[in-house]
Structure formats: C-alpha cells, structure tokens
Amino acid sequence: MTSSTLLAILKLLIIFICAGWISLWILKPTQVWTRVWKHAEQSANNTIFGYYGLNFGVYTFPIIAIAVIGLLFLDLKAGSQRTRSARSSSTVFSNPLVVNSIFGILTSVEILVVFLVIVFLAWTYYARISNDFNKLMQDKSLKLNLWQLKYLRIATRFGLLAEACLALLLLPILRGLSLFRIFGIQFEASVRYHTWIGTAMILFATIHGGSTLFVWGVSHHIQHEIWKWQKTGRIYLAGEIALVIGLVIFVTSLPQIRRRKFEIFYYTHHLYILFLVFFLFHAGDKHFYMVFPGVFLFSLDKLLRIIQSSPKTCIVSARFFPCEALELILPKDPRLKYNPTSVVYMKIPTISHLQWHSFSIISSSKADENIMSVMIKCQGWWTNTLHDLIQTELNKGADKRKGIPVAVEGPYGPASLDFLKHDSVLMVAGGSGITPFLSVLAEIDSTTNKNDFPSKIQLVHVIKRAQDVCLLHSITHLLLNQASQKFHLKLKLFVTQETQLDLGITELLNEFVKVKTMKLDSVSSKYYAAYGLESPVWMAAITGFCSLTFLIFLICFNHTVIPSRKKSKLLKEKTPSWIVDLLLIAAFVVALSCCALIAIVLRWRRLKKGIPPMSQNEIKPFDQSSAEIKSDLEEHEVHFGGRPNFKDILGNFKNETRGSNVGVLVCGPESMKESVAAACQQESECFKLGVKKAKPCFTLHSLNFTL
C-alpha cells in the first residue's frame, strides 16, 4: 500500500470520527437523544464499564482518537515528498475574504466555521429552553413566581453554552499533540481561536452566574443559596469560585495588560487548573466528560513538553548586533530536523524559573546539523535582562566564560512546506518579523533540488531605523552573490523613521552588518544538545496508552470506592457527587503519572543513544570577519522616510513574474498584515468573475512570531 493511499485512508478516518463527534453535540439537546442516552447509561451501569466508561467512550475518546490518527498522518506526510504544483483548488477558501481593523484577516473557511458554531449554539439554546418552558417545575426550596422561574431556566441554559465553548477552548493551544496542524494551522496562528472561544465562554458564564444571582436576590434567597455546597447535584459555591477565577484570567489577558504586564498575564493564566477543578465540582462528572477531551490532551501535551525540556542545554555562542538584537547559537542533535518558520520556546533559569518565551529559528537543519540559531530583539524586561547577562559574560576573559543554561521546548513548525510550493514568492516583513523568513531563505539555499522551491523571491523588509538592517546578517551572502545562487533574490528595504537619502544598500551593509561574536564554555557534562520532540508515532502510542490507563483506573476506583447499587439502596444514601469527581481526578493523575514514566524513559534513552554533551570544538566555527562589502548591489532598493505601497509592490511583482501562482508570505504588525491582505484582494485576478484561471493569483500566508 502506497503512502498516498494510507494518507487518504487516515484522512477519511479523521473526517468520519470528527463528523460523528459533531453529530453527538447536535443531537444532545433533543428529547430523542435524552431518552436513548438515559437507557444506554442504565444498561452500562449493569456492566463493568458503568455510566462513566460509556461517557468517556462516547464523548471523550473520539477527539483522542483524532489526535492519535492525526499524529500518524503527520508522520506519514512528513516522509512523503511533494513537488511544486499548480494552484490548489482550495486557494479560494484560504485567501482573505474580510480585512478590517476590528476582525483582522478572515478567510472564507474561518467565516464559515464561525457561522456554523453560532448556528450550533443558537440551536442548542433553543432546543433546551423550549423544552424547559414546556415542562416548568417549581423548585420547592426557592418558591419562585413564574417570571423568576423562567428567567432562572434562561440563566441555567447559558451555562450549557459556556460548557460547549469550554469543550473547544484548549484544543487550539495544543503544541505537540496539536489537532490544528492536521489542517496546516500552526500554534501561533490558532491562538486567536483560543481567544475568541475564551471570550465567548466568559460572556456566557457571566450571564449564567450573574442572572442566577439576580434571581436569588429578587427572591430573597441569595444568602442561603450562595454558600451551598450540595452533597449531590450541582454545587453552587464551586460554580461561583470557577466564575471568579475565569473572570480574573480573562481580565488579565486583555491586550492592555498582556502587552504591558506580561508577567501578570502569564502567572494568572496558570489558575486554569483551579478553574477546571471547580468547574468539575459544579457541573458534575457527566457534564465534564463533554469538555474532557481538551483537558485530557492539553494536560498530556503539557506533561510531555515539561519532560522534553527538562534536560537542559546551554548557549554555546552569541552574536551582538548594533540594533540591540542577539543571535543565540544552541547545540542540537544532528538527527533533529525541522521545517523553516519553526519556533522554539526557551526558559533561562538564571532569569526566571517559570517564564517561557517563543523565538523563531533562523537556521536550517539541512545546512547546520550541529547548531540551531535564534534571533532575539531586545525590547522587554526579559530580553533586556538576557542581553545584560550575556554582556556580562562577554566582559569576562575568554577562559572565565561559562555556558549559560537554557531549557528548550520544541521546535514546533509546519508539517509540510506547501506554503512554498509557488512559482514565485513575495515575502513581506516588519521589523523582527523578518526572522521566520531567514530560515526559509537558509532552507532554500541549502536544498539540492531547485524545483522544490520558487525560483524568484522578492523580500520587502520594513524597518524603523537604518541600523535594523543588521537583522539581515545571516542572508548577507545571498544578497551579495546573486550569480552563484540557485534562485533570484531581490531586496526592497523601507526605512520609515529616517530620511538619509544618500545611503544605498551597500553603505548600509558596510555600516551596520558588523557583529561581535562570543563563544562560551559548554564542556560541562550536565548540558545536552537539543533533541527536540519525540517522534509522532511514539506520541501517538503514549496518548493511546494514557487514555486506556485512565479508563482502567477509573473503573477500578469506582468499583472499589463507590458502593454497588444494591448496597446504596439498602443504605438509602447516595454517594456525594464530589467524591465521584475526585475519583475522576485521581484516575487522571495516575494515568498521567504512568505516561510520565514512559516519556522519561524514552527521553533518557535518546540522550544515552545520542551524541554526548557537546564541547566547544564540536560547534562549527563562525565567520567573525568584519571586512567591508564592496560588491555592486544596484538591483536591491532602499527607500527612506515612508511606508511601502503594497498595492504597487504586488502589481509590479505580478508584472515581473508573469505567473499565475504567486505566494505572499507576511509577518509583522497586524496593521501591516491587513494592508498586505487588502492589496492581495485587489490585485488577485483569478477570483474575479469572467476571468480565466490562468490569470495571476496571490495566495496569502500570514505568519506569526509573537502571541
């Protein structure tokens, strides 16, 4: 069986399971499903699995199965080589349809999915509330009048909408076990889906909680109800605590706080553990199985990431640039391969034991087997502290410098290079948004088959100051030696806040592309090279094992702790619901612990089999020459004192290439991305009515380098 056939089978299997899981959510509010499900739970209680096994198998396991199959799909896809092809029929769906400052850049697929989610939420609410109004039953303890009773039911059903959002909330922020990578969406891009869903969840939860408190208040029951910790059923106090925690997380994640006080945002976001625990106590285990897939995968993903990053590596060399930027060189295992535009997450214990920051890799794993480089622009407290730390080492004598320990998580990158399968590519970067493109150009330069990549590339780099041109240091040789390159590269540089009209690209490179290189001692045996993530096959196996282990321990704990139905009838006493919830947590903790042991064994097995801790001699030497550039670079353009007109740039590039398959990669501030997206809409002729498909078409790929 060929790899393409296996890929097609796995893809169909994913679609089939996903369609089934969505169908469950659509049928869940109906009376037909309620009757069928009640009968199924009663039947399951007479088996070893119980209702909890049935809920896990029906509501939770399908998403876990998609994650397992998706990992196998990505592993198989990575091994299959694809050549550049004609414009895909899906281009029309992936290109921007709506571009504005409020919603940002939205494709037709995103708009369609958002519309379907809104329709689903409306359907769920309508089905639930109409059935509630037909069967209104008075609460004996509250004794509400009719309008209060109806309003309480309205408030209750908003809680179900919050539950539906919570079921999706954690899926977009998975990294190693990411479901979105199956659809070609990277973590940095899917974070905004997490933001949208989280905002909707907090809105529904606030209406749910606030309206319930309002009804209690007008009926003079608030002092009695607000402190209730019921033995069975929904625990009110737990729901109130969960709502307060959710509001704290939401407020501290607002852009005004996240951008100015990142530490507050980062630390308060870890309250999600308490939020989930109190949500479980409030909603009960039956409702929790609906949201458990995201919790399960996120917890396992987090655990595997912690284990992967625990063997610390070190910074073996660093470069200082005039524009307050750093290039850090880390040792890596030669077997570690990654695609361009990949990112790594770094934690430097000397600065903080808790903070992780993401950075784009600027090197190619094909060209550099033993090292991995990242570029850092010093613009905040953490990066400035790192700059000072390395500067302190630089001021020491060469024999006294020590390697700076660093924990590395990742790299995470695209599953394929389909975004480069174009005849020509236009790259647009704003400031440090150039970093993902440095790895793309390094990858293209190191490839042996020039047919795999575009033959014509134009790089538009927008910077504030002329000294920021030093960010192009790693591709200077590509700009200088056009005749010997496998592809044609043209640079258009825009310096927006300076008006030195007498400087050309040659003068700029001579003036600012001069760096200080510092080598550090890395001989210590406690440091290791970066090994990267486990293989997708192993991660799929661990995920499957974790789900099976959880189910086994869940059954064992319930049969051991919870009395049988016959005994509970004799005792005339029900088991408190919070005990059942604790058993679910206990089974999950045991399953994660078992998986942690397996992951640790796999990790240290790789370290023993891999290369030994890297010494300074094993790192490839760097060119520290500061010789002036004397080449004639008239083809490249430099513009001072203004912003680029992207409509003109795309129009000129369209005329130069005369092709129908043009890729546009953009990375930078959101305002710049929106301008480029709008220009792509205006200049793409292939989507206009009455125009032949051979006409030029711009396919936009928006890259993120910050969260």
Q: How confident is the model at residue 620 (pLDDT cuts 50, 70, 90)?
A: very low
Nearest to 288 by CA among 124, 66, 56, 128: 56
Q: pLDDT by residue (tens digit) across 445-487?
A: 887 766 677 878 899 999 988 888 888 888 888 877 765 566 7
pLDDT at 245: 96
H/E stretch holding 329 reads strand 325-331
- Decide: 30 and 127 in contact? Cβ < 8 Å: yes
DSSP string, 516-577: EEEE-----TT---B--SPPHHHHHHHHHHHHHHHHHHHHHHHHHHSPPHHHHHHHT-PPPH
pLDDT at 88: 47
Q: Answer yes or no: is pLDDT of 608 > 80.
A: no
Q: pLDDT by residue (tens digit) across 318-374?
A: 888 888 888 998 888 888 888 898 999 999 988 988 888 889 999 988 888 888 999
Q: Give me the mean pLDDT over the 566-577 stretch.
A: 61
pLDDT at 527: 75
pLDDT at 635: 75
pLDDT at 592: 96
For the chain, how big is the Rg over CA atoms in Å? 28
- Decide: 358 and 344 in contact? Cβ < 8 Å: yes
Nearest to 353 by CA among 276, 434, 263: 263
Neighbours of 688 (CB within 10 A): 8
**Residue 235: both structure tokens together:** 């625990």
Instruction: List the Cα angle 512/517/523 in 5-degree steps.
Output: 165
Q: Give me the mean pLDDT over the 567-582 stretch.
A: 71
Q: pLDDT by residue (tens digit) across 633-684?
A: 567 888 888 889 988 888 888 888 776 678 889 998 888 888 898 888 887 7
Q: Give the HSE-up count for residue 435: Cα atoms under 13 Å, Cβ half-sphere.
A: 24
Q: pLDDT by residue (tens digit) across 125-171?
A: 999 999 988 887 766 666 778 888 888 899 999 999 999 999 999 99
What is the Cα–Cα distance from 560 to 554, expressed in whole angstroms?
10
Mean pLDDT, all residues of the chain: 83
Q: What is the largest CA-CA distance in the chain?
A: 95
Q: How confident is the model at residue 21 (pLDDT cuts 50, 70, 90)?
A: very high
Give the helix, strand, coil percentages of the chain, each rounded to 5.
55, 15, 30
